[in-house]
A and B are shown apart, each in its own frame.
Chain A
Amino acid sequence: MSYVDATAPLQLAEPVRPRARVWSRLRRRPVAIAAIIVIVIIYGAGILAPILAPYGFSEADFANTHAGPSWSHPLGTDALGRDLLSRAIWSAQTTVIISVAAVTTGGLILGVSMGLLAGYLRGWADAIIMRAAEILGSVPTILLLLIITATLLGRIEGWAEDLEDLTGADWIVNSGAPSYFLIFGALSIFGWVGIARIVRSQVLALRESQYIVAARASGASTFRVIARHLLPNVSNLLIVAVTLSLGGAAGAEVGLTFLGIGVQDPHPSFGAMIFQGAGLTQVRQHPMLILVPSACVTSLILAFNLLGDQLTDVLSPRGR
């Protein structure tokens, strides 16, 4: 389950297009704008959650259970009287944290570096990295994630407690950091593969191109070549890949939390909201409980996919 969709269009083996023109082309595409707006709204809500959410995620109101929409509860309440709108906003925060952390660590840091190393150095580095990628890609991902979280959550919490003792910071375990860390860590372990492959194939294609050869012939060091010549070319592809990965990571977090191996209660998540709203009788009697998180998650993933698609069109010279 490398969260870069294997079916995304990948070929962009052309010289880079100046950034400013990209943005102006993008601005003229209403689909892209709409997608960006959706992302900004949801991510913005997540980032601003402490200010924005009228109630806490677990704030119960026993007099007001299963309430319909009203001024104090625009989306109604659930079985314990918790405000659905606030729960959605807080869940968005978790989505922001995990997707950004996962894509940054797994996608950008790990994926790019592995891809660059493999593609540029070739030889044994390439062999090891690609073997590892293959192995990681061959396992039934969800099962391994399940095993990993079952195994490691307790240990990581133990380490967090040790860290607390060491540093005197007593908020570490309670903030939920261990489970967040575990999830985006686990997602990164499997997630770097896709981006690494993309980067690697781009590097392979580019390294024989004219100016790379010229740069090396003129004695540029490996690092310079990578930084000055390879990275800018790869970055177009990366933008698309990152966009799609964010959507994928968000979806993965929701799924994992739903199964119980993601973010742990009482920390908010759309997965937890869906969990409590799923089930036939729930859907029948209280459809809002599942409609709210479903709509949020679906629109977010859809927005990322649309944007990725639009970016691909814009960044490729033929403008499909």
Chain B
Amino acid sequence: MESRNLVYVLTGIAVALIVVIGGLVLLVSSGGDGDDDGSSGGNGDASPTLGARVEGELRIPGGDPITLDPACATDIESASYIIEIFSGLVGYDNNLELIPDIASEWDVSDDGTVYTFHLRTNVLFHDGSRRVASDDFKYSMERALNPDTASLVADVYLGDIVGVDEFISGDASEVSGIKAPNPDTLEITIEKASPVFLPKLTYPTAFVVDRNETEGSSCFDAGWTFSPNGTGPFELAEWDLGNAIILEPNPDYYLDPKPSLSKITFLLSGGSSFTMYQNDEIDITGVGKDNVESVRDATNELNAEYRFSTTLSVSYIGFNVNQEPFDDPEVRRALAMAIDKEFLTENLYKGLLDAADGILPPEMPGHNPDLQGIPYDPDAARDLLDDTGKRDLLEDVTILTSGQGAAPDDVLQAITAMWEQNLGLTITVEQEDFALLTQDINDGNFDMFSIGWIADYPDPQNFLEIKFHTDSSNNDVGYSNPEVDRLLDEANGDLSDEERFELYQEAEQIIVDDQPWIPLFFGTSSLLVKPHVQGYEAAPFAIPNLRYVSISD
């Protein structure tokens, strides 16, 4: 008996596998009919039961926002909902043009410090109770800046305004630079002229909110955000945590084109959106690197629905330029030369990423197509590194990145492998929580790090000055080049766009030669859009574009 036990045990194992799976098949296929009771309409039961698709409804996958309070939003996900529900003085359209929003027109004083906005008279809050007047804006901006509100970003976007410091420190009870002389006029005075002040006003911190529902609430009181009284093209019909966000068009919307969708449903619960798209449960989906090859194949019927565009973002590796051996630009250049960006974008990411040579993405106004980047040349890289004689200083170097999983993403693994193969360097990747990463970067506690940067507004200043000017608080690598500073300061003056762009391009070339960053990729957007969805264009950064979308049946 005992000697046959092994056979029986093994048979048992094998049969277990087969029986379990087979039994399952039977169970599920016979029980499948019962599942349709709950989900109504012909939707199939893979999506939340939110009713059958109504005419003119757009269904998109999404994530839970961290907040819907315009004064408090610090991430892209939250901002993308906020910009549809709320609005402000100025905005962007689908062509990246700054357009009037609630302010129909504005005058700027000769010295560029006083902006006088003339507000439309027909802008109503969603509940229709009253129109938006200038004191609503004064209230909203002061609320955003109020230390009690605890906004992490208000002072960054509104900090140019006169009187902000006194207000934040408590010396003043209002912001002196914001005046509401009459309901139709809002006057804002800033410390000194800036070509990017208006773009900063397109960010949610400058949006208007209803004082009746927000008075006294801080960023840590989100109750009112579940039924907000906004002014944007869409109203929030429901926010079902973890499940769905439903938007409905604002009938009183004041800009053209008015929203033509009857309903937008964001599906927040997980699942593969690619499969949901194939099952006709959603209308738009992203295409990941695992699917992009098959989608790009012209024989694939999905190919006709494929859209590819670039976004205004860049991912890069930053060096601690004030620390040995990264204070030597030759070392930085050698490391840059050893990275085969083509392999990463073509082979690893199947063309989903756009290799970056410079700082400004292709869609950014002022992008320089003739920029000279650092080429991939492993032999030259090796020689260069040897010439510096600092190879041994690179012994225990680490590169920080954000992440939680068992291994860092493929790109970083490939890059460290390239450094190993081409330069013989063993550089370790350290994953940290994003919170820790930003703290370490702020403290200068790093050798190298890998991170990305997305535009707030489509101006080169948002990349070049914010990240590379000596005095900028967001200059995370600690780069300081007086020539670059001079060019950036000059570009802030009263010049034409062309003149400014020339200056920025000059600065960018110097920066790229110095390589305080190794720019890796520009962001792209790879989508599938159903043919019945009209007017949808992927936004290069956070732009409210859903009012341009319609469904043709």
Contacts and interface: CB of A to CB of B under 8 A. Distances in A.
A33 B340 CA distance: 51
A34 to B, nearest CB: 6
A34 B6 contact: yes
Interface string A29-67: 111011000000000000000000000001110100100
B3 A260 contact: no
B413 A58 contact: yes
Interface stretch (A132-140, A229-237, A279-287): A279-287
Contacts of B416: 58, 266
B472 interface: no
Given A260-B431, A266-B429, A281-B288, A276 B406 contact: yes
A98 to B, nearest CB: 14
A269 B406 contact: yes
B276 to A, nearest CB: 12
B410 A80 contact: yes
Between B343, B396, B405, B421, the greatest number of chain A beta carbons within 10 A of the residue's beta carbon is seen for B405
The size bracket of the interface on B is 35 or more
Contacts of B406: 257-260, 262, 265, 269, 271-272, 274-276
A150 interface: yes
A65 B431 contact: no
Nearest to B347: A65
B417 A80 contact: yes
Contacts of A285: 290
A28 interface: yes
A174 interface: yes
Contacts of B291: 281
A265 B403 CA distance: 11
A62 B340 contact: yes
Given A174-B396, A266-B429, A281-B290, A58 B417 contact: yes
B290 A79 contact: no
B272 A80 contact: no
A306 B9 CA distance: 10
Contacts of B408: 265
Contacts of A150: 433
Nearest to A274: B406
A170 interface: yes
Interface in B401-422: 403-408, 410, 413-414, 416-418, 420-421
A132 B448 CA distance: 44
A279 to B, nearest CB: 8
A113 interface: no
Contacts of A62: 340, 343, 347, 414, 417-418
A30 B407 CA distance: 39
Interface string B335-350: 0000010010001100
Nearest to A282: B290
Contacts of A266: 416, 428-429
A26 to B, nearest CB: 11
A264 interface: yes
B273 to A, nearest CB: 11
9 contacts: A60-B417, A60-B420, A60-B421, A62-B347, A65-B347, A265-B406, A265-B413, A266-B429, A281-B272
Interface of A: 28-31, 33-34, 58-60, 62, 65, 79-80, 150, 154, 170, 173-174, 257-260, 262, 264-266, 269, 271-272, 274-276, 279-282, 284-285, 302, 306
Closest 6 pairs (CB-CB, A-B): A281-B290, A60-B417, A30-B6, A275-B406, A272-B406, A260-B404
